[in-house]
Amino acid sequence: MKPITRLRTTMPDFSRRMNALLSRETDTGADVQNLVADIIADIRQQGDAALCRYTQRFDGWDCTPATMLIDRQRMAQAWESVSQEDRQALELATRRIRDYHQHQLQQDWEITDAQGFTLGQRITPLDRVGLYVPGGKAAYPSSVLMNAVPAMVAGVKDVSMVVPTPGGEINELVLAAAYTAGVQRAYAVGGAQAIAALAYGTESIHPVDKIVGPGNKFVAAAKRQVFGQCGIDMIAGPSEIVVVADSGHAQWIAADFLSQAEHDEAAQSILISTDEALLDAVEVAIGEHLSRLPRAAIAAASVANHGALVLVRDMAEAAEVVNMIAPEHLELAVREADALLADVRHAGAIFIGHYVPEALGDYLAGPNHVLPTNRTARFSSPLGVYDFQKRSSIIRATPQALKHVGSEAIHLAHREGLQAHALTLELRLSEGTGGD
């Protein structure tokens, strides 16, 4: 195994080296924008015909409007076809994800202020949501649950799913997950063409209000381009993990380090520690794990090109490095985890202690595994119920309330040169109550 990149915060050029390490290619579709734009235009103009044509071209099966539809009955068949162990795991994950997201539900509220205005907020769910589930190299039933369950908790009435099916092969476990999560219908299509179909609609697919779910660079590019026509969750890049450790079993830490590296050659794993001997032991353990893992070639490429072992002087410095990275996943395998947690400002999901590997969060801890990547945790949050709800402002006023603030509002309207705005207030103040 090639030696893993080593960095020390005492290096005079540490910040430059770290920024260079973090500036990896995120593969979010910049190089395919024109191709994706053409695909979207074809879907808008030709609907199902273009959608099936691209599916035949890229996935290699005879797609028609009838054969691309996967209804609830077909999902129920998949549910019955998977093993009892599969069903038990899916049910447990669904229940835990639902229970966690129930706590995120927002509520209507109103207050009455001293001037007599009643102000508030009304919460309503989105009408339609489209879920993109990756296919191809791997199938991810966990992604179905993490995207669909919060939408259902939010009260979305219409949840559709698109899933690529190379060679026409449908993953039964993905359909079983869709069934238990409550997805109403699915379509055996993927890629930029599926994103365009969800955004603009075709003869068979209703346009949705929001598209959620990860995908390859064609999917990422399409989501960028349809944003505004509908909402999107985020542009997800390759997965990443930061482990901060000052103690613990090297074999455990090494496995956690590799948990994201096995996803993708472009994934990134970083271990931060105050103990150089621990870094040495973990590097040896990483090599041992790679000699046995089925996806070792992918993980090894990720570690060689994007991985790092970082030596810091203390936990305060560790927190500074974490905030610089703003990782998707952060494990705090340290003695004083809560003290370190207080200094962490930027991270998608934080796993505290030695018995909470990131994999628990991927499947059934409860919090969402759809997380901000590529340092976007500086300003983004995990997917949640709030992504499927809208807020409307509520304003009520009595005649007396209007008198309290009306003259100042009129003044501001005139200062902006908007005389009709001012007139709406002047008439009410001069004529008194003209309505209810």
Residue 31's pLDDT is 82
The span from the CA of 411 to the CA of 422, in Å, is 8
In the annotation, is 431 catalytic? no
Q: What is the mean pLDDT of residues 390-398?
A: 97
Domains in the chain, start-ordered, CATH in brackets?
5-19+237-365 (3.40.50.1980), 30-232 (3.40.50.1980), 397-431 (no CATH)
Q: What is the mean pLDDT of residues 103-128?
A: 97
Question: What DSSP designation does 5 have?
Answer: E
- pLDDT tier at 237, thresholds 50, 70, 90: confident
- pLDDT tier at 35, thresholds 50, 70, 90: very high
Strand order in the sheet with 109-112: 109-112, 118-125, 389-396
Three-class secondary structure of residue 244 per DSSP: strand
Q: What is the mean pLDDT of residues 297-316?
A: 97
| Phi-psi sector, 425: left (phi>0), alpha (psi -120 to 50), beta | alpha
Rounded to 5 degrees, φ, ψ at 301 are -65, -40
Residue 433's pLDDT is 53
The span from the CA of 112 to the CA of 93, in Å, is 42
Helix and strand element counts for the chain (H, E)? 18, 15
Contact between 259 and 253 (Cβ < 8 Å): no
Strand order in the sheet with 349-352: 5-8, 308-311, 268-273, 240-245, 329-333, 349-352
- pLDDT tier at 2, thresholds 50, 70, 90: confident
Q: Which residues of 323-356 are buried (b: 16+ CB within 10 A; e: fewer)?
A: bbbbbbbbbbbbeebeebeeebebbbbbbeebeb
**Pair type for strands 240-245 and 329-333:** parallel
Neighbour-count burial of 222, counting CB atoms closer than 10 A to its CB (0-12 exposed, 13-18 middle, 19+ buried)? buried
pLDDT digits (tens, 9 = 90+) for 362-386: 999 999 999 999 999 999 999 999 9
The residue assigned the tokens 């482990």 is: 243
Contact between 210 and 129 (Cβ < 8 Å): yes
Residue 26's pLDDT is 60
Global pTM? Answer: 0.93
pLDDT digits (tens, 9 = 90+) for 58-101: 999 999 999 999 999 999 999 999 999 999 999 999 999 999 99
Q: Which of 240, 328, 331, 358 is catalytic?
A: 328
- Sign of the dihedral defined by the CA atoms of residues 57, 145, 386, 128, in that order: positive
Tokens of 229: 């026509």
Question: What DSSP designation does 31 have?
Answer: G
Residue 311, strand partner residues: 8, 273
For 89-127, where are the E strands, in sequence order?
109-112, 118-125
- Kindly report the average pLDDT of the chain as a whole number: 95
- pLDDT tier at 130, thresholds 50, 70, 90: very high
The residue assigned the tokens 């044509």 is: 53
Residue 434's pLDDT is 53
Q: For the chain, give the percent of residues with pLDDT over 90.
A: 92
pLDDT at 435 over 60: no
pLDDT at 135 over 80: no
Q: What is the mean pLDDT of residues 238-262?
A: 96
| Helix (H) or strand (E) segment spanning residue 232 | strand 231-232
Residue 138's pLDDT is 64
Q: What is the mean pLDDT of residues 397-423?
A: 97
Q: What is the dihedral of CA 267, 187, 65, 224, to 10 degrees?
A: -50
Q: Which of 329, 346, 354, 369 is catalytic?
A: 329
The span from the CA of 403 to the CA of 424, in Å, is 13
Residue 111, strand partner residues: 119
pLDDT digits (tens, 9 = 90+) for 311-363: 999 999 999 999 999 999 999 999 999 999 999 999 999 999 999 999 999 99
In the annotation, is 265 catalytic? no
